[in-house]
Amino acid sequence: MNKPHMSEWLGDLSRQAKLRRGIVISGNVNNSVFNQEGTQKPFKHVLNNTFEKLGFKHVIHYSRVGGISGISQENWSELQLSSAPPSELIEGDDYDFDDETPDEKQQADAGQTELTPQDFFAVAQRVMLNANLPKVAFIIDWSNLLFGQVNALSEQERGWLSQLLQNLRDSADEMSHTEIDKVQSLMVFVCEGANKLPPQLTVGNPQFGEVVVPLPNRAERQQAILGLSTTFNLEERPIIGSRLLEDFVDLTDSLTLREINQLARLSRQQQEALSLDALVSLYRYGKKESPWEQLNYDKLKDVESTLQQRVKGQDEAIKLVRKVLVRAFTGLSGLQHSAKSRMPKGALFFVGPTGVGKTELAKSLASFLFGDEDACMRFDMSEFNHEHADQRLVGAPPGYVGYEEGGQLTNAVKKRPFSLLLFDEIEKAHPRILDKFLQILEDGRLTDGKGETVNFSDTFIVFTSNIGASEIKPGEQALEQFKIHVTKHFVQELKRPELLGRIGEANIVPFNFMTDSDFLVAIAKAKLEPLKIRLKEKWGISDLIFDNEDKALTTIVSQVDKTAGGRGVLNAMVFALFDPLAEFLFESLSDSTSFNGRPIRVVQAGKNFDFEVD
The DSSP annotation for 348-370 comes to EEEE-STTSSHHHHHHHHHHHHH
Instruction: Show the CA angle centred on residue 379, arms to residues 373 and 385, nearest 5°.
Output: 170
Q: Cα Rg for the chain, rounded, in angstroms?
A: 33
Pairing of strands 600-605, 608-613: antiparallel
CATH of domain 8-213: 3.40.50.300
DSSP conformation letters of 30-81? SSEEE-TTS-EEEHHHHHHHHHHHHT-SEEEEEETTTEEESS-HHHHHHHHH
Per-residue confidence band for 114, with pLDDT thresholds at 50, 70 and 90: low
Q: What per-residue string of b and e applies to 177-199 under the rule 16 or more CB within 10 Å gives b?
A: eeeeeebbbbbbbbbbbbebbbe
Tell me the β-bridge partners of 140.
62, 189
Per-residue confidence band for 50, with pLDDT thresholds at 50, 70 and 90: very high
Q: 187 near 164, Cβ under 8 Å?
A: yes
Rounded percentage of the chain residues whose pLDDT exceeds 70: 88
Tell me if domain 8-213 and domain 297-510 are identical in fold.
yes
pTM for the whole thing?
0.65
Q: What per-residue string of b and e applies to 115-132 under the rule 16 or more CB within 10 Å gives b?
A: bebeebbbbbbbbbeeee
Phi and psi at 611, nearest 5°, equal -135, 145
Q: What is the pLDDT of residue 180?
A: 87
Q: 525 near 549, Cβ under 8 Å?
A: yes
**Most confidently predicted of 2-6, 169-173, 185-189, 320-324:** 185-189
CA distances from 209 to 23, 205, 255, 392 (A): 5, 9, 27, 32
Mean pLDDT across the chain: 83
Q: What is the pLDDT of residue 337?
A: 38
H or E element in which residue 260 lies = helix 257-269
> Which tens digit of pLDDT belongs to each residue from 555-612?
888 877 665 666 677 788 888 899 999 988 888 877 766 777 888 899 988 888 988 8
For 98: left if phi > 0, alpha if psi spans -120 to 50, otherwise beta; the answer is beta
Q: What is the pLDDT of residue 45?
A: 95
> Which tens digit of pLDDT belongs to each residue from 418-444?
899 999 999 888 888 888 888 898 888
Which three-class secondary structure state does DSSP give residue 583? Answer: helix
DSSP 8-state symbol, 301: T
pLDDT greater than 60 at residue 87: no
Q: What is the pLDDT of residue 367?
A: 92
Q: Identity (one letter) of the amino acid at 256?
A: T
Q: What is the pLDDT of residue 105?
A: 38
**Most confidently predicted of 251-255, 292-296, 518-522:** 251-255
What is the fold of 297-510?
Rossmann fold (3.40.50)
Rounded percentage of the chain residues whose pLDDT exceeds 90: 26
First-to-last alpha carbon distance for the chain, in angstroms, is: 81
Q: Which CATH number fits domain 517-613: 3.40.50.10540, 1.10.8.60, 3.40.50.1980, 2.40.50.110?
A: 1.10.8.60
CATH architecture designation of domain 218-285: Orthogonal Bundle (1.10)
Q: What is the pLDDT of residue 52?
A: 95
For 92: left if phi > 0, alpha if psi spans -120 to 50, otherwise beta; the answer is left
> Which tens digit of pLDDT belongs to each residue from 481-515?
888 888 888 888 888 888 888 888 888 899 887 76
Q: How far apart are CA 159 and CA 58, in angstroms?
A: 26
Task: Report CA 44 to chain centroid distance, whole Å.
Answer: 28
Q: How far apart are CA 532 and CA 521, in angstroms?
A: 17
Lowest mean pLDDT: which of 70-74, 111-115, 181-185, 425-429? 111-115
Residue 542 contacts by C-beta under 8 Å, 6 or more apart in sequence? 536, 597, 598, 599
* Domain range summary for the chain, segments of one domain joined by +: 8-213, 218-285, 297-510, 517-613
Q: 61 near 190, Cβ under 8 Å?
A: no
> Which tens digit of pLDDT belongs to each residue from 358-395?
999 999 999 999 888 999 999 999 998 887 888 888 88
302-316: average pLDDT: 88
Instruction: Show the CA angle centred on residue 388, arms to residues 382 and 391, nearest 5°.
Output: 95
